[in-house]
Structure 1
Amino acid sequence: MVTKQSRWHGRVEGAQANCAVPGCDGPGEFKAPLQPADFDGPGAWRFLCLDHIREHNAKYNFFDGMSPDEIHEAQSPLGGWERPSRRFAANGADPPPKWSDFADPLDAITGRFGNIRERAKPSRFSKDERRALDVLGLGEDADRHAIRQRYSGLVRRYHPDKNGGDRSHEGKLTEVIAAYQLLRKLPAFA
């Protein structure tokens, strides 16, 4: 299997070929392009030994053949942004949401697919209350009986007295107790 070794960047471990330079019998462990990349595909490669790859890299000049203005433009932090980008495909997607429907821009981005109005329904619980329901493994449709039953089961599971004195689940037990204490006081479960 061909893998990359960390000591020599670009070295192909397990390469079987000899160096591609005529008359060199060294192992061809480093890939070198045959011609400059034109970004239309992976390109063609040849394998060179360490000495010849160093020679190859010393001759390489990205800016070869460019005018001073082209070099300045290529070195600009904005270089490459002037190229047009492709539009995203709209097939299979709902129309984009209105930004005004969302308080958080990231919600608008994730709301791009699916029924936006269904997901935008306000929850009857706050963020902390929803997290407490998640800790207990319950949904927003849970009732007081389901919360109490789930709480009892989780306390039995995580309590050190039920685990032979194993205190590794104390953090989880604390979360479960805090979640239950928050939820049991809510008017929604009165």
Structure 2
Amino acid sequence: MMMRKNQRHRAFDPDPAAPDRSCDLPGCGERAGYKAPRSRQALNDYFWFCLDHVREYNARWDYYKGMTPGQIEAHLRADVSWDRPSWRLGHLGGAAAAFDEEKMLDPLGLLRGAGEARARARQRGHASAANTDQRPEALRQPLETLGLGWPVSMAEVKTRYKDLARRHHPDANGGDRASEERLKTINVAYTAVKQHLAGAGLARTG
């Protein structure tokens, strides 16, 4: 039976791309088959040696030869981050800066939609905070109960009260006791807001 020849490349086989010439070590007539970088500054420029001489060359090779300890440490740190800039954790000017979705590739507009929704929410929050600051202190809880902002007209107050009274009336909720208590709270809030508007002369025709 004929045995198939193993075509797998072995570790010490000559480089198939080796030039057709002799070893670069002066005086050596062996065929060159193994490459080695000429220097740290020219890692893609090679010597071509025979197997014995490339082993000798590699045994003597010192990548950091001629560098100071500080230069070696800096080089090692750069290697850790793949020669890319890095920042201390928590440094706002660098990698820990807030995520900027505008810089992301977003062909479907998914991030843009989320950003717009957050912007609208922030605007509503600012508007709500501004309205809260403007509300008379005595009306803050009543307005919260009625779900109304400030300023508000008498017509808006009446419309809101009718809606809440209809929704929470015990008759509309099978005589539920909680609905009855809720309606009492709504009545108190409505009376407080109505009296304030009437007393301050702010009531509008509605």
Which category of TM-score, normalised to the shorter sequence, fits these structures? 0.3 to 0.5
Q: Give the number of the structure whose residues are more often helix, by fraction.
A: 2
Give the TM-score of the pair, scaled to structure 1.
0.36
Computing the radius of gyration from Cα coordinates, the structure with the larger value is 2
